[in-house]
Amino acid sequence: MPDNAATAGLDIPDGERAALELLERGALEVEGRLVGASNATLYCTIKGGGAEANCVYKPVAGERPLWDFPTGTLAGREVAAYAVSRAAGWNVAPPTVMRDGPFGPGMCQLWIDLDPEVDLVALSRRSDHAGLREMAVFDAVVNNADRKIGHLLPVTDGHLYGCDHGVCFAEEYKLRTVLWQWRGKALPRRSVEALRRLADDMAAGWLADELSKHLTRREINATRSRVAKLLKHPTYPYPSEDWPAIPWPPV
């Protein structure tokens, strides 16, 4: 199993375990660049052990500096987001690892084929979609500053993934999302149970250890505090009065 995958104490399905192994150890070949992305985002083929898949590779060297996040940390934040997603059981982030590649170390994430029948704008406005509700809680935990409509990845079996979690885990409240339709409403029981799992895993130490590979101690403590606050007041958060509520562009 890849050393940098968040697997300790987790019951990972065989298919996802195989995907993590392929992402970590497979031969990476760049096929093209996703030109709409603000940072270098490369579409790749990865092969190994008789398996083949497509993935996204974001080298650290291709990250554009930001004023509010330390330079060179975005790829690691995506891996940390996967760890939180997997530990809670939300499975929002696709399998994601840190590895070396043609342009140096970077994030490597399994490519997700979208369900072409889903209207993403209409999906983002729904209030009755369980996966979307869980994504909103996940975003609150990781403090996602960039949940755009285009970051929603619905697949044909009904599951909903999300991508582009590089600007997460800030210490200050920076939640910026298109998913505000539940603000102030009570969290579902399933979400509360997921938060309890996260709190337990942080207390056990292994999840904090995993996050420490990519985040500062203060960022980890801030994540722990967000989980505790959501458990104490189990409601969806409100937008900040000091921070834009919706990313731009929203799509």
On the question of pLDDT at 112 being above 80, the answer is yes
Please choose, from the candidates 221, 162, 229, the residue with its C-alpha nearest in 3D space to the C-alpha of residue 192.
229
- One DSSP character per residue, 236-247 reads PPPPPSSS-SS-
On the question of pLDDT at 4 being above 70, the answer is no
9: left (phi over 0), alpha (psi -120 to 50) or beta: left
- Check if the beta carbon of residue 29 is closer than 8 Å to that of residue 44: yes
On the question of pLDDT at 189 being above 60, the answer is yes
Domains recognised in the chain with CATH numbers: 14-232 (1.10.510)
Q: What are phi and psi of 243, to 5 degrees?
A: -145, 140
Q: If pLDDT is split at 50, 70 and 90, which confidence band does 229 have? A: very high
Q: If pLDDT is split at 50, 70 and 90, which confidence band does 15 have? A: confident
Q: If pLDDT is split at 50, 70 and 90, which confidence band does 10 have? A: low
What is the per-residue pLDDT for 12? Answer: 74
Q: If pLDDT is split at 50, 70 and 90, which confidence band does 2 have? A: very low
Among 2-6, 27-31, 120-124, 247-251, the least confident range = 2-6
Query: For the chain, what percent of residues have pLDDT higher than 90?
Result: 91
What is the per-residue pLDDT for 11? Answer: 60
**Mean pLDDT, range 109-120, rounded to an integer:** 98
On the question of pLDDT at 6 being above 60, the answer is no
3-state secondary structure (DSSP) of residue 165: coil
Burial 93-132 (b: 16+ CB within 10 A, else e): bbbbbbbebebeebbbbbebeebeebebeebbeeeebebb
On the question of pLDDT at 7 being above 70, the answer is no
